[in-house]
Amino acid sequence: MRRFTLGHIAAACAAGGIVLAGAMRADDGVARAKKLHFSSIIIDTHDDTTQRLLDGKFDIGARNETGSIDIPRMKAGNLGGIFFSIWIPSKITGPEAVKRALDQIDAVREAVRRHPRDLALATTAAEIRAARREGKIAVLMGVEGGHMIANDLSVLRTFAAMGVRYMTLTHSGNDEWADSSTDKAEHNGLTDFGKEVVREMNRLGMIVDISHVSDKTFYDALAVSKAPMIASHSSCRAICDAPRNMTDQMIKDLAAKGGVIQINYHVGFLSQEFRNAERSDPAVNEAIARQVHAKCGDDEACQLLEGDRLTREYVAQGKLPRVDWTKIIEHIDHAVKLAGAEHVGLGSDFDGANMPFGMEDASDLPKITQELLKRGYSERDVQEILGENTLRVMTEVERVSRELSGSAQE
């Protein structure tokens, strides 16, 4: 893929007299892409930077050598709205899970308190637009895994009150009330309590996120939810057959109810070749896991970053295939062709996954805009993918919440 791209450019350059005109057109394209990108609201619905915020040494206000997200790089990439993920492993449950989720929620809120000139906490689409007008980055939160509510709707409401605007129904393991795509089916989708959780999320104005959940949980949630849903960070199974990705049918069904699939940049979800290599040689992943553990112990922020770094080392050594950032575009394009540009968005998984080459951090985001324009996407379509679709789902979720709250009070 990369080689093809380079060849293409070389061929264009070799074409003598056309070069100047071609370059001008290319410059026009770059300028147009830049203008569009930097005048759009760009929202990323999934970033695992929260783990780093809990580490006293990390300064989100400074440009960091490691990881993908900090204020300078978000500005460089014009990332206008970011969902910080609240995540703890599925195996931690009950009050301990609740308390650790609160720690992370506070870490996000504290980052906003400490950087009031650059960051603004947002809980609605209108607040994201307001933050943008003030030149600030809108900070949002998503809880990545229903296990963190500890089977307690009061905790769910607390999360909502603290600004959490989506909850992924499961993480990698099943909850007590929802099956995960990467665990053994146990509840046949959502339990009755799970459905109650979805309804309460609708009432609270919290987006139902179906990344990570089993296909049956997805369809159960789709049937129960009165508001559109998102997949906050999932890609297309037709291109890369990972259970974490969505089938074409799921993408179409999600879209039919107004939802959005937010494409995940993780190489293992983007590239079948990468996934095959990982699966054909499990020793590679095991070795990475061992090295990560040896360096990081239980420090989850360290694990996430070190995993990405080591994966790149293995790619450099030829032990894993190299995946380029343009693979992201393939997934966007596939989903757009299936469901329309109104139903696709960005959910990078920055600071929580292995990024493809050329998409090392948030400063690389303008490339996506440029590439989509190059492929003939309209400016309107590009803006929808960059953030407007997410804003639309939020607005719709807020409307449903008002309706449900209103009827409850009458």
Partner 1 sequence: MRRFRAAVVLLCLSATAILLSRPSAGDALAERAHKLHFSSIVLDTHDDTTQRFFSKDFDLGKRNAEGSIDIPRMKEGGMNAIFFSVWIDGRILGPPAVQKALDQIDMIREAVLRNSSDMELARTAADVRRIRAQGKIAALIGVEGGHMIGNDIHVLRIFSDLGVRYMTLSHFYNDEWADSSTDKPAHNGLTDFGKEIVREMNRQGIMVDISHVSDKTFYDALEVSRAPLIASHSSCRALCNHPRDMSDDMIKALAAKGGVIQINYEKSFIDQAYKDAADKISGGVVAQINQFEKDCNHDEACVEKKVTEAQRQLTAEGKLPRVSWERIVDHIDHAVKLAGADHVGLGSDFDGATMPEGMEDCTHLPQITEALVRKGYSDADIQKILGGNALRVMEQAERVSREMLAEQRGADRQ
Positive or negative, the CA dihedral 85, 269, 179, 176 is negative
Residue 32 near residue 378 (C-beta atoms within 8 A): no
| Minimum distance of partner 1 from residue 322's CB (angstroms) | 40
Which residues are at the interface with partner 1 (CB under 8 A)? 61, 94-96, 98-99, 102-103, 105-107, 109-110, 113-116, 150, 152, 154-155, 157-158, 161-162, 409
Nearer to partner 1, 98 or 397 (CB): 98
State how far the Cα of 73 lies from the Cα of 84, in Å rounded to an integer: 15
| Minimum distance of partner 1 from residue 157's CB (angstroms) | 5
* Phi then psi dihedrals of residue 21, to 5 deg: -60, -45
Listed residue (382, 327, 260) closest to 2, CA to CA: 327
Tokens representing 13 are 């350059």
Nearer to partner 1, 154 or 378 (CB): 154
Place of tokens 């980055």: 137
Residue 146 near residue 168 (C-beta atoms within 8 A): yes
State how far the Cα of 317 lies from the Cα of 295, in Å rounded to an integer: 20
Nearer to partner 1, 160 or 255 (CB): 160
Nearer to partner 1, 33 or 108 (CB): 108
| Neighbour-count burial of 395, counting CB atoms closer than 10 A to its CB (0-12 exposed, 13-18 middle, 19+ buried) | middle
Place of tokens 């459905």: 195
* Residues whose CB is less than 8 angstroms from the CB of residue 288 and which lie 6 or more positions away in sequence, other chains included: 307, 310, 311, 314
Nearer to partner 1, 317 or 409 (CB): 409
State how far the Cα of 369 lies from the Cα of 381, in Å rounded to an integer: 10
Nearer to partner 1, 53 or 359 (CB): 53
Paired residues of 83 in beta bridges: 140
Nearer to partner 1, 22 or 116 (CB): 116
| Minimum distance of partner 1 from residue 77's CB (angstroms) | 23
| Minimum distance of partner 1 from residue 71's CB (angstroms) | 12
* Residues whose CB is less than 8 angstroms from the CB of residue 285 and which lie 6 or more positions away in sequence, other chains included: 278
| Minimum distance of partner 1 from residue 159's CB (angstroms) | 10
Nearer to partner 1, 65 or 410 (CB): 410
Residue 104 near residue 49 (C-beta atoms within 8 A): no
Residue 261 near residue 254 (C-beta atoms within 8 A): yes
| Minimum distance of partner 1 from residue 162's CB (angstroms) | 6
| Minimum distance of partner 1 from residue 100's CB (angstroms) | 8
| Minimum distance of partner 1 from residue 59's CB (angstroms) | 9
